[in-house]
Amino acid sequence: MAKALASTSPEPLPVHRNLALDLVRVTEAAALASGAWMGRGDKNSADGAAVDAMRRVLQRMEMDGVVVIGEGEKDEAPMLYIGERLGTGDPPEVDIAVDPIDGTTLLSKGLLNAISTIALAGGRGSLYDAKHVSYMHKLAVGAEAAGSVNINDPVAANLQRIARAKRMRVSNLTVVILDRPRHEELIKEVRETGARIKLISDGDIAGALMTAIEGTGLDVLMGIGGAPEAVTAACALKCLGGEIQCKLYPKTDQERTRALEMGADFDQVLTIDDLVRSDDVFFAATGITDGEVLTGVKYHTNWAETESLVTRSRSGTVRRIQARHHWAYKQREWLGLPEG
């Protein structure tokens, strides 16, 4: 994106306290609220439950936050809309990227890999403004292959470099691709290299996250997906030592014209540092349905259990948190009632 779309904000100030455990409470709340809608075929109700629960917890966090990646413009989304101020208003200043449900269709059908995610980046103007273009070309890898890829190079060349970095054969690599008609040529090129493919129907934040988590058996995300999701994925990968490269992809001629008027450059490669202009980034995700990275919410008579992942770029610490939530206490917490 050209300078016309870039932030002119000063260098972001560091966040002097660890917000990681505050964030995981946010995604836990969204997952618990929306998980009840698994398989019920109602995307809107599931998303509404997640948004309401997420915002309720965010409003109580000690921070001065602004939603940069959210549910849409204010006239489209009543909560967690782009530009909404969240938190108590006290320092630190942070930009916020939210996706209460990455994979609403997955959740509505009871399929794998629906997750709730949130990211914070220290300093105002630290997250890329993705609201003017809906989609991006993406290439994402984990820490082992970071620095070895170039989105402008042929698929075969990138897979060869990833294989070399990971000390694997190309035929043993697995490429994550959204299952869309627009990817027919990409799928053909990957198959010609002998690499394996995992097609996903939705949820490309989870798809990018899979490439950076040990034990998933997934090595690279390729293809065109949502621009807001690219920014959130960049936050996660920055914390996990991975890499993402993107190029703008206009969905319509009207979107292309509007973006060009704002100075867009469709040939520019957006690096992870273009998407996240801060060295102090927090990312949290909680599983809603089971998946490669996280197990989903499990409900019991008087309690529920969740699994979450939370990390911070400054320390590189990755925490997996398995939690048991007792409904009597959890409902009081969500309502902001005192203990006792």
* Residues 170-191: tens digit of each pLDDT: 999 999 999 999 999 999 999 9
pLDDT for the residue numbered 337? 42
Confidence of residue 334 (pLDDT cuts 50, 70, 90): low
Residue 112 lies in a domain: yes
The mean pLDDT of the chain is: 92
Q: From CA 56, how far away is CA 65, in angstroms rounded?
A: 14
Average pLDDT over residues 100-105: 97
Provide the CATH number for the domain around residue 264. 3.40.190.90
pTM here? 0.92
pLDDT interval class at 131 (50, 70, 90) = confident
Q: What integer pLDDT is reported at residue 75 of this predicted model?
A: 66
Residue 153 banded pLDDT, cuts 50, 70, 90: very high
Assigned domain for 29 exists: yes
pLDDT tens digits, one per residue of 78-96: 899 999 999 999 999 999 9
278: number of Cβ within 10 Å: 24
Q: Which residue has the higher pLDDT, 254 or 340?
A: 254
Q: Are residues 291 and 221 located together in one domain of the fold? A: no
Q: Are 141 and 240 in a shared domain?
A: yes
Q: What is the pLDDT of residue 126?
A: 97
322: in domain: yes
Within a domain: 10: no
CA distance 196 to 174: 5
Tell me, yes or no, whether 151 and 117 share the same domain: no
Q: Are residue 271 and residue 140 in the same domain, yes or no?
A: yes
Q: Which of 253, 275, 297 is the last residue of a domain?
A: 275
Q: Is residue 147 part of a domain?
A: yes
| 96 lies in the same domain as 44 | yes
Instruction: Please indicate, yes or no, whether residues 170 and 269 belong to a single structural domain of this protein.
Output: yes
CA distances from 1 to 6, 278, 330 (A): 7, 18, 43
Residue 7 lies in a domain: no
Same domain flag for 291 and 242: no
Q: How confident is the model at residue 280 (pLDDT cuts 50, 70, 90)?
A: very high
Region 107-134: mean pLDDT is 94
Number of domains the chain contains: 2
Instruction: Please give the residue range of the domain that contains residue 296.
Output: 17-126+281-335
Do 140 and 265 lie in one domain? The reply is yes
Model confidence at 1, pLDDT cuts 50, 70, 90, reads: very low
Q: Give pLDDT, residue 152.
A: 98
**Domain shared by 142 and 264, yes or no:** yes
The answer to whether residue 306 is domain-embedded is yes
In a domain, 235, yes or no: yes
State the pLDDT at residue 333. Answer: 62
Stated as kind and residue range, the H or E segment containing 164 is helix 155-166
Band of pLDDT at residue 100, cut at 50, 70 and 90? very high
Over the stretch 209-228, which tens digit does the pLDDT of each residue have? 999 999 999 999 999 999 99
- Same domain? For 74 and 168 the reply is no
Q: Do 62 and 158 reside in the same domain of the chain?
A: no
Statement to judge: residues 268 and 315 lie in one domain? no
Residue 8: is its pLDDT beyond 90? no
CATH code, domain with 309? 3.30.540.10
